[in-house]
Chain A
Amino acid sequence: MSVFTIARLELLIARRNMWVATAIILMGLFTVVLTLAGGAPTGTLGIDPLTVALTSITTLSVYLIPLIGLLLSFDAIAGEAERGTLALNLTYPMSRGEILIGKFLAHLGVLGVAIAVGLGLAVVLTIWQHGMTDLSFLPLLKLFGTSIALGAAFLGIGYLVSSLVRQTGVASGIVIIIWLVCVVLYDLGLLGALVADDGGAFTKDVFPWLLVANPADAFRLINTPEVSVSELASGIGAAGGVSGAAGQSASLLLWPVVALFLAWAAFRRIEP
């Protein structure tokens, strides 16, 4: 029961702090722009217009969802430690695991609503522009599910940082660095290694696994439909094929679990 009590309070705080509104506006605004902009050139290509929209939204989500996840979570433990509310909370009859899960459920709820609003808007706009014909909804469900998993992974990472550093200022700096590494620098690094390796053992055996090891890349691969891959993406897509959908799903499922577990382990060591 404590879990839901915590979740309820965190939701209330998230609403007060305008996090709910911010997340929804961010996701909604970007998906609307991408759906409208993405729809313009593809009218005659004969590709399912929803697929086109979702491809753009996937690319956007790789950046936006980890960012929102980290911003929601970096304050969770460090903020309480700094405000001085942590000690009192920890004297209440509930475990630290319950506190963490409660916060996680609330934050995941905020993310889920924002993602659902964004995707919902994309569907409505697509139908409005192209009518109901030839829309495949399976990729939509897949994108929603994997977006939640991606968000959960970065929430867990945010809690881990928050438990380890205990100062919100430091925590916010670290999560921005983590975000930058995961969504930008990691890929650049791999690309550099690929170029240097020039089709050697690294490219065949190590690279595909390193690629899916990053939840952001696993998310990108699992949601990239084969018809829409560009020339550059096709190389990465082919490499992703080695690890396969199983590897990508495993990455997206394992990351939230492992990150939350590590966050819990770090949180348990805190003496307020």
Chain B
Amino acid sequence: MTTLLIENLCKQYGKLQTVKGVNLKLDAGERVALLGHNGAGKTTLMRMVLGLTPATSGKIAVLGTAAGSRHARNAIGFLPESVAFHGALSGREQLHHFARLKSETTKRADDLLERVGLSEAADRKIRTYSKGMRQRIGLAQALLGRPKLALLDEPTSGLDPISRHEFYDIVEDLANSGTAVLLSSHALTELETRTDRIAIMSEGRLLANNSLSALRQTAHLPIHVHVTTSEADADRIAAELGGERVNGRSITLTCQQDGKIAMLGQITSLGAVIKDVDVTPASLEDLYRHYSIAEEGA
């Protein structure tokens, strides 16, 4: 069964329409990243899936049941953006409480504290926690009750690079055990290798929804090639390759996917004057810009 099915979903606040006809489908074990700037409608979308705010029109089904139903809420793990807890409680007390609400054992809550790397600080009051530590408690509570669908709103904000890495390891385990993961993020680069599908939202509309490589192909974004050479040769080589000299010894070239091998051949044929070559495919940033600008222009 489809874990999450969203059909033609709309949300209107007075005259402001924040979500406009979104269709999205998540199957078990899929990791989908929801991209968009602030106000693109990502959080509103998640809040509707959670049943925190009703949809104006359209349909949401979580494992075949209505959003916000007890069955749906039991199946969802949610990590809100800038998650907060009562400061007078310890991390362990807070997590045990959530475990009881999800009919989960407190033993499992303790295991999760360990999993997110908080077992040391678990008995300290949450008010002494850093933002990253609160985020970890938030992640741990989202994992309680082995959810079928995990909704993670800006999950890596406030985490350092190592924690981010650990976070995506946890997400991967979660997906491998059959949980569908929908996460929103601004940090585009980290999503490239860590998600199966990218959904781009802008001004309430879903502009793209596909795997990263498929999105790259459709967008026809150029590949950037950086060539490093010696200072004396830079101008001559820039002219020869048809590139642009960026500083003393570097040249930037662009090409399409199908012209990449030919260009690399041309560069290597120049021999010893070439010190180094870097090839950068269109990044998520480029893609994101491409799809959101394409929409605005239309």
Q: Which of A86-94, A200-208, A229-237 contacts B (4 or more CB under 8 A)?
A: A86-94
Q: Quick check: is B84 within 8 A (CB to CB) of the other chain? A: yes
**Inter-subunit contact A87/B80 (CB<8 Å):** yes
Which residues of A have CB within 8 Å of B73?
91-93
Within 8 A of B (CB), among A253-272: 271-272
1/0 per residue, CB under 8 A from B, across A75-102: the answer is 0000000011101101111110000000
Known A-B contacts A84-B82, A88-B83, A93-B74; A17 and B101 likewise in contact (beta carbons under 8 Å): no
B268 to chain A, nearest CB (A): 56
The answer for the CA separation of A12 and B126 in the assembled complex, in Å, is 14
The answer for the CA separation of A33 and B145 in the assembled complex, in Å, is 52
A227 to chain B, nearest CB (A): 47
Q: Quick check: is A13 within 8 A (CB to CB) of the other chain? A: yes
Q: Quick check: is A129 within 8 A (CB to CB) of the other chain? A: no
Which residues of B have CB within 8 Å of A5?
97, 100-101
Known A-B contacts A5-B100, A92-B98, A92-B102; A85 and B76 likewise in contact (beta carbons under 8 Å): no
The answer for the CA separation of A94 and B101 in the assembled complex, in Å, is 8
* Residue count of chain B within 8 Å CB distance of chain A: 28
1/0 per residue, CB under 8 A from B, across A12-33: the answer is 1100110000000000000000
1/0 per residue, CB under 8 A from A, across B53-92: the answer is 1000000000000000011011010101011111011000
Which residues of B have CB within 8 Å of A271?
52-53
**Inter-subunit contact B100/A90 (CB<8 Å):** no
The answer for the CA separation of A272 and B88 in the assembled complex, in Å, is 22
**Inter-subunit contact A88/B89 (CB<8 Å):** no
A262 to chain B, nearest CB (A): 22
Which residues of A have CB within 8 Å of B80?
84, 87-88
The answer for the CA separation of A8 and B100 in the assembled complex, in Å, is 11
**Inter-subunit contact A93/B52 (CB<8 Å):** no
A99 to chain B, nearest CB (A): 10
**Inter-subunit contact B86/A83 (CB<8 Å):** yes
B18 to chain A, nearest CB (A): 13
- Most chain B beta-carbon contacts within 10 A, residue among A84, A90, A91, A271: A91
Known A-B contacts A91-B50, A92-B98, A93-B101; A13 and B85 likewise in contact (beta carbons under 8 Å): no
**Inter-subunit contact A12/B93 (CB<8 Å):** yes
Q: Quick check: is A42 within 8 A (CB to CB) of the other chain? A: no
**Inter-subunit contact A16/B52 (CB<8 Å):** no
Which residues of B have CB within 8 Å of A94?
70, 101
B250 to chain A, nearest CB (A): 47
1/0 per residue, CB under 8 A from A, across B226-255: the answer is 000000000000000000000000000000
Known A-B contacts A5-B100, A83-B84; A88 and B74 likewise in contact (beta carbons under 8 Å): no
Listed A/B pairs (20) with beta-carbon separation below 8 Å: A2-B101, A5-B97, A5-B101, A8-B97, A9-B93, A9-B97, A12-B89, A83-B84, A85-B84, A87-B80, A88-B83, A88-B138, A91-B50, A91-B52, A92-B98, A93-B70, A93-B102, A94-B101, A271-B53, A272-B52
